[in-house]
Amino acid sequence: MTDPTIAGAQQGHWASTFAANPDMYGTDPSVPAVAAAASFTEAGAHQLLELGAGQGRDTLFFARQGFEIVALDYVEDALDAIAAKATAAGTGDTVGVALHDVREPLPFADGAFDANYSHMLFCMALTTAQLEQLAAELHRVLRPGGLVVYTVRHTGDAHYGTGTPRGDDMYERGGFIVHFFDDRLVQRLATGFDLLDVTEFTEGDLPRRLWRVTMRKPGHGQVTT
Ligand SMILES: C[S@@+](CC[C@H](N)C(=O)[O-])C[C@H]1O[C@@H](n2cnc3c(N)ncnc32)[C@H](O)[C@@H]1O
């Protein structure tokens, strides 16, 4: 796992689910986005990269807070919707979109961003090896002192170990594959970063049980969170 057929099916499943469910996660910003915005402001960050932006509930919030942001996802229609919403909200100039699969190297220059944010992208159908490559790519595209804030469902989640096993602590339910994180994986992905904080939170009706992880690329411009 994840073989290309399963990975391609995941992309199609997200596209059809978003098409059938406009604003699937609502239009309010998520709790981790609000926390991340405070950390990014404190760190003096301005240029953000968001991975797995979905339908943009958090992208639009960051734009309203005055950040410049590139929203990356592999579902084109969702990105088109984000661009349209940003234009309608008068923030079209500060929101860019990037159609890209995070299993491939990121299409950005070294040091291009001050901070990276992702809510429930790392816990998608990505193997540990693919996650390690992604973390290394984030290290490359962040400036020294840049922050990474990512959220993941973890092994304390009620769905952990249920559904169809897909290897590497991934399980499929309702057509979606989730990679459930443990402490060791968080530590492993922090290679080359300073691991600043891991905060537990819940979301949704289940509720999903998640961690918000904050890491910093060593270098100038360091701040505490
Ligand atoms: C659980 S949703 C979260 C969406 C958004 N962050 C939010 O919280 O509203 C995961 C998102 O990651 C995207 N995604 C999953 N795998 C991806 C990949 N390999 N490359 C790029 N985007 C991916 C999906 O299309 C979807 O938009």
φ, ψ of residue 127 in degrees (nearest 5) = -70, 165
- In the sheet that holds 113-119, the strands lie side by side as 95-99, 68-73, 47-51, 113-119, 142-153, 208-216, 194-203
At 107, which amino acid appears?
Answer: P
The kind and range of the H/E element at 127 are none
Ligand 1: residue of 70, 74, 166, 170 to mutate (most ligand atoms within 8 A of CB) is 74
* CA gap 28, 31 in Å, rounded: 9
The protein residue with its alpha carbon nearest to ligand 1, atom 22, reads: 73
* CA gap 68, 61 in Å, rounded: 11
Structure tokens at 56: 């943009």
What was the pLDDT predicted at 224? 45
* 20, 40 contact by CB (below 8 A): no
pLDDT digits (tens, 9 = 90+) for 25-65: 999 999 999 999 999 999 999 999 999 999 999 999 999 99
Which atom of ligand 1 is closest in space to residue 125's alpha carbon? 16
What was the pLDDT predicted at 32? 98
Give distance in angstroms: CA of 220 to centre of ligand 1. 31
pLDDT digits (tens, 9 = 90+) for 142-178: 999 999 999 999 999 999 999 999 999 999 999 999 9
Q: Which 8-state DSSP code applies to residue 222?
A: -
At 155, which amino acid appears?
Answer: T
* CA gap 87, 83 in Å, rounded: 6
Give distance in angstroms: CA of 111 to centre of ligand 1. 23
| CA-based nearest residue to 78, from 28, 12, 151, 9 | 12
* CA gap 2, 166 in Å, rounded: 8
The kind and range of the H/E element at 156 are none
* Exposure of 189 in the CB half-sphere (CA atoms within 13 A): 29
* 197, 30 contact by CB (below 8 A): no
Q: Which 8-state DSSP code applies to residue 27?
A: S
What was the pLDDT predicted at 6? 75
CATH T-level fold of 4-216 = Rossmann fold (3.40.50)
Indicate whether 195 pLDDT > 70.
yes
What was the pLDDT predicted at 223? 47
